[in-house]
Amino acid sequence: MGTTASQLGKDMLSEYQELTFLTKQEILLAHKRFTELLTKDEKDLPNTRVPMERILTLPELKSNPFRKRICNVFSTSEYKDGGLTFEDFLDLLSAFSDSATLEIKSHYAFRIFDFDDDGTLDCRDLEKLVNCLTGETDDTRLTPEEMRQLINNILEESDIDKDGTVNLSEFQHVISRSPDFVSSFKIVL
Amino acid sequence: MSTVSESVVGSTRSLSAAKRHKSIRKNSRRIYSAYQDNQGSSDDQDKEDERADSNDPEEMFQNIQYQKEIIANIRTRPWPMRRKLKVLKQAREIVLKYEGRLTRTRGYQTAGADLLKKLSRVLYNILVLFIPWEVRIKKIESHFGSGVASYFIFLRWLFGINIVLTIMTGAFIVLPELLAGAPFGTTRSKTIPKEHLASAQDLDTIWSLGGYLQYSVLFYGYYGRLRKIGSAGYRLPLAYFLVGMAVFAYSFIVLLRKMAKNSRLSLASASDENFTFCWRVFCAWDYLIGNPEAAESKGAAIVNNIREAIVEEQEKKKDTSLAVLISLRILANILVLLSLAGSIYIIYFVVDRSQKLEQEKPELTLWEKNEVSVVVSLITMIAPSAFELVAQLEMYHPRTSLRFQLARVLVLYLGNLYSLIIALLDKVNSMSSAIPLSPGNWSESSSFLATISQPEGNSLSTLVSEIFVSEHRNITIATIATVLDIRNTSTSGSGVISNQTSLFEKNIRSQQDPCWETYVGQEMLKLSIIDMIFTVASILLIDFIRGLVVRYLSDCCCWDLESKFPEYGEFKIAENVLHLIYNQGMIWMGAFFSPCLPAFNVLKLIGLMYLRSWAVLTCNVPHQQVFRASRSNNFYVAMLLFMLFLCMLPTIFAIVRYRPSQHCGPF
């Protein structure tokens, strides 16, 4: 019931069209790009899982500050190593596609930002999030004072039940009011 | 995975509530079987379901519809693929199991719906193949982000509209006229008058769209006025009018549909909630960026943005005295209003002057002929930069100043177009009221003169006064003098008639065939052409040369050209989109008078797409600022709708108010 790496069965193709927001061409292109990542022996095995390092060589993900989190969120691996099968890869592209709904995008955005996977965004998650955005070098990072101020402001704006964390519905409430989110939360192969 | 737990909790809660009613329990178990993780419980229920299977076809149908809804919406569930496949299989099994028992009509209904869904999916897959420039736009997206790419996506959408307009006008007006209408040179409106024939092939004439171009399908004047043409009896005048109206109707419909689609996507916030910090952190990153350089600059921009927001939050209101600020802003607004009024006056003056020049001098220089279009295009190039300079006086927040800038540029473009069309219509007014006589009247007056020559006793004064009353003002004094001479010399009848025919011809030469619709069409097409030339020139000169200068001369210059003035240009999204809207407004204004204008616009947009995409990738750098000009995608579409409405008005006004020319065109 998996996909042999060399070709995509016709029935699986129509199933994937049913289950994702991608068109037939996009699924075929995704299949092509995915098989390019496989080594020669892996191409014959069904349902291979590509390790995270190789996924991150894709140019669409390479420059993304959240690339590791994206791989971890969409990975169904038992070892939590961020490796993706082809179906995980399709899930990724579907959530980031043009026709995906706001609910799906905000759901996955929340999971990506939730660095410790506990279901809420607390101060540590927010701090890691901002550090990802600002980069590694010292002059681009925010000072601890600025960071504290920023996190306080974020919680003040979005934390409705005042529990010190942002949960999924509060996050979705904030995101749904943003005019830019849907158009920027996109990855196209 | 909180949603998973939520849905499971939800289902168990509903299950416990449903235990009160047996029938409801059956249904809810059937319905919620898709959400449960463990399949064991549903297997147990299967036997019970078999037994308690209601003979109610309606209930079955409802259940099947619900399962189908699950199948249709399954892609909106944030589950991994394995789980989605499992749920899909289950739902399909249930549907298959119960569908066989449906009544015949319901069966056809569902089969029809399935077929339709499959067909629409196949159609959509094929349609996606035809979308042009996908690779190009993707490249721009990965380098510059979604903001800049939105300009190109807008351009592509306008291109689609123009193609449909071209097909409409081409298929229903141009082709029938070319194929079945009277060919070139037969009727009066299709021949070049003798005095123009000599210069008809000059470059000069072609540039000002005279000569062969004037008497061609490009303009209104060419189209015949026969009620029916060709063997099939195609009603050309009716088609002309209907297509003219259909152009506007189609544009309205497409724009409104796009607006509806956009507002469905972006949940318009009724309240003015401002989650600045949240948005600057959660929505900051543009996931389309695939280029490390662009990612770096985007990261820097985000940091700046966050720091700016923190500073703004901490700092109290600025200390600069309020009085100075307000007076500066008032000054800036006065300057802007003055320049707007100035530009409107200049355009009106220039059109007026060109009208006077045409009447006085028989031969016009190149500059004089194209003065109007050149002046309009110059103003549209220069004024926005002037507004930007003035806006620096105002010291607003960049987002506010960008909004002011857009509003001012929009008013400028509208003012230009309107003053141009009003000046043109004024000229049209004077042209169409200046023809009290047709050649029919001429023959009357020549026979009148012939009869005058016979009788003896008429006094000269009554003759002259009668001539003045009945003839056109273009009669020169020389004509009257020759008539009096004839009278005085009292020659034979044939001599009089030969003199009269020579008079007749001289007067025809001095008065051209008035065809104001062709004139308006010519002006619009000229404006469009010159606007294109200016755009190309400005891209090449301003962006390209600037890029070359900064790159190659920065070594020999004393200050760093790349970070201070004049750095690499940034792609001004908002102004370029406004320019596209202005361009489209021109087309809508002129489409009735020049049916080939949409076709020309199609070519223009193709050229613009290639040129701008090349320019953006070679000469521009990503934006320093992170904010977006529009709160939603609807902003630009709304402006386009506004422009459409305003550009439709002059056409309708001209149709209603002015009499169509008698010697050209279908009416």
Are B141 and A188 an interchain contact pair (Cβ–Cβ within 8 Å)? yes
B255-259, B392-396, B537-541, B547-551 — most confident range:
B255-259
Q: Is the pLDDT of residue B142 over 90?
A: no
Are B310 and A149 an interchain contact pair (Cβ–Cβ within 8 Å)? yes
Question: Coil, helix or strand for B185?
Answer: coil
Closest CA to B223 of B207, B245, B205, B244: B244
A38-42, B166-170, B216-220 — most confident range:
B166-170
Give B279's contacts in chain A (Cβ within 8 Å): 174, 178, 180-181
Distance CA B167, CA B164 (A): 5
B70-74, B249-253, B345-349, B418-422 — most confident range:
B249-253
Question: Coil, helix or strand for B432?
Answer: helix
Are B76 and A104 an interchain contact pair (Cβ–Cβ within 8 Å)? yes
HSE (side-chain half, CA atoms, 13 Å) at B638: 10
What's residue A90's pLDDT? Answer: 92
pLDDT averaged over chain B?
Answer: 73
pLDDT band at A80 (very low <50, low <70, confident <90, very high): confident
Question: Coil, helix or strand for A85?
Answer: coil
Handedness of CA A136, A139, A140, A144 (dihedral sign): positive
Distance CA B402, CA B394 (A): 12
- Is residue B383 a contact partner of residue B318, using CB atoms and an 8 Å limit? no
Q: Is the pLDDT of residue B591 over 50?
A: yes
Co-location of B201 and B350 in the same domain: yes
Minimum distance, in Å, between the CA of residue A64 and any CA atom of chain B:
7
Give B627's contacts in chain A (Cβ within 8 Å): none
The distance between the two most distant Cα atoms of chain B, rounded to a whole number of Å, is 126
- Is residue B640 a contact partner of residue B261, using CB atoms and an 8 Å limit? no
Distance CA A81, CA B616 (A): 40
Distance CA B368, CA B129 (A): 48
- Is residue B613 a contact partner of residue B140, using CB atoms and an 8 Å limit? yes
Co-location of B420 and B557 in the same domain: yes
Residue B664 lies in a domain: no
Q: Is the pLDDT of residue A83 over 50?
A: yes
Residue B130 lies in a domain: no
Other Cβ atoms closer than 10 A to B95: 18
Hunting for tokens 């490009």 — which residue is that?
B218
The answer to whether A116 faces chain B, any CB pair under 8 Å, is no
Other Cβ atoms closer than 10 A to B404: 18
The answer to whether A92 faces chain B, any CB pair under 8 Å, is no
Higher-pLDDT residue of A89 and B290 is: A89
Q: Across the A/B interface, how many CB contacts are shorter than 8 Å?
A: 173
DSSP assignment of B521-556, as one string?
A: HHHHHHHHHHHHHHHHHHIIIIIIIHHHHHHHHTTT
State the ipTM, two decimals.
Answer: 0.89
Co-location of B417 and B393 in the same domain: yes
Residue B172 lies in a domain: yes
HSE (side-chain half, CA atoms, 13 Å) at B225: 14
Co-location of B524 and B618 in the same domain: yes
Residue B205 lies in a domain: yes
Distance CA B84, CA B90 (A): 10
In chain B, the number of structural domains is 3
Distance CA B18, CA B22 (A): 8
Residue B666 lies in a domain: no
Q: Among partner residues B128, B273, B277, which is closest to A25 by beta-carbon distance?
A: B128
The answer to whether A130 faces chain B, any CB pair under 8 Å, is yes
Minimum distance, in Å, between the CA of residue A157 and any CA atom of chain B:
6
Residue B131 lies in a domain: no
Question: Coil, helix or strand for B87?
Answer: helix
Candidate from B270-279, B361-370, B407-416, B626-635 with smallest mean pLDDT: B626-635
C-alpha distances in Å from residue A5, one per residue of A37, A76, A85, A151: 11, 18, 10, 45
Minimum distance, in Å, between the CA of residue B313 and any CA atom of chain A:
9
pLDDT per residue as tens digits for the range A102-156: 899 999 999 999 999 999 999 999 999 988 888 777 777 888 888 898 898 888 8
HSE (side-chain half, CA atoms, 13 Å) at B388: 11
The chain B residue lying nearest A128, using CA atoms, is B281
Co-location of B628 and B544 in the same domain: yes
What's residue B327's pLDDT? Answer: 85
In residues, how long is chain A? 189
Which parts of B130-235 fold into alpha helices (H)?
134-144, 146-169, 175-180, 194-197, 203-207, 211-214
Minimum distance, in Å, between the CA of residue B513 and any CA atom of chain A:
56
Co-location of B40 and B174 in the same domain: no
Co-location of B466 and B503 in the same domain: yes
Co-location of B312 and B458 in the same domain: no
Higher-pLDDT residue of B419 and B467 is: B419
Q: In which domain, by residue range, is B270 found?
A: 136-436+514-657
Residue B665 lies in a domain: no
Minimum distance, in Å, between the CA of residue A40 and any CA atom of chain B:
25
Q: Among partner residues A90, A175, A188, which is closest to B288 by beta-carbon distance?
A: A188
Minimum distance, in Å, between the CA of residue B390 and any CA atom of chain A:
29
**DSSP code of B170?**
I
Are A63 and B289 an interchain contact pair (Cβ–Cβ within 8 Å)? yes
What's residue B496's pLDDT? Answer: 43
What's residue B52's pLDDT? Answer: 41
Are B275 and A178 an interchain contact pair (Cβ–Cβ within 8 Å)? yes
Give A113's contacts in chain B (Cβ within 8 Å): 282
- Within 14-43 of A, beta carbons closer than 8 Å to B belong to 15, 17-21, 23-25
What's residue B644's pLDDT? Answer: 92
Domain end (from B458, B487, B509) = B509
- Is residue B296 a contact partner of residue A64, using CB atoms and an 8 Å limit? no
Are A19 and B74 an interchain contact pair (Cβ–Cβ within 8 Å)? yes
Give A25's contacts in chain B (Cβ within 8 Å): 125, 128-129
Distance CA A188, CA A61 (A): 10
Domain end (from B485, B509, B533) = B509
- Is residue B393 a contact partner of residue B325, using CB atoms and an 8 Å limit? no
- Is residue B402 a contact partner of residue B574, using CB atoms and an 8 Å limit? yes
pLDDT per residue as tens digits for the range B31-83: 333 333 333 334 444 443 443 455 677 888 788 888 888 888 888 888 888 89
Distance CA B522, CA B92 (A): 64
What's residue B399's pLDDT? Answer: 64
Distance CA B549, CA B562 (A): 10
Co-location of B403 and B330 in the same domain: yes
Minimum distance, in Å, between the CA of residue A37 and any CA atom of chain B:
18
User: Nearest 5°: CA angle at A28, between A24 and A30?
Assistant: 115
User: Nearest 5°: CA angle at B360, between B355 and B363?
Assistant: 90
pTM greater than 0.90: no
pLDDT averaged over chain A?
Answer: 87
Co-location of B375 and B420 in the same domain: yes
Q: Among partner residues B273, B295, B630, which is closest to A177 by beta-carbon distance?
A: B273
Co-location of B471 and B569 in the same domain: no
The chain B residue lying nearest A85, using CA atoms, is B81
- Is residue B280 a contact partner of residue B302, using CB atoms and an 8 Å limit? yes
What's residue B151's pLDDT? Answer: 86
pLDDT band at A73 (very low <50, low <70, confident <90, very high): very high
Residue B574 lies in a domain: yes
Candidate from B301-315, B380-394, B464-478 with smallest mean pLDDT: B464-478
Strand ranges in B536-580 using DSSP code E only, listed in sequence order: 569-570
Co-location of B93 and B187 in the same domain: no
- Is residue B643 a contact partner of residue B584, using CB atoms and an 8 Å limit? yes
Q: Is the pLDDT of residue A10 over 50?
A: yes
Question: Coil, helix or strand for B622?
Answer: coil
Domain end (from B121, B144, B163) = B121
pLDDT per residue as tens digits for the range B183-222: 776 666 667 777 777 766 777 677 777 777 777 777 887 7
Which parts of B591-629 fold into alpha helices (H)?
597-619
Are B310 and A174 an interchain contact pair (Cβ–Cβ within 8 Å)? no
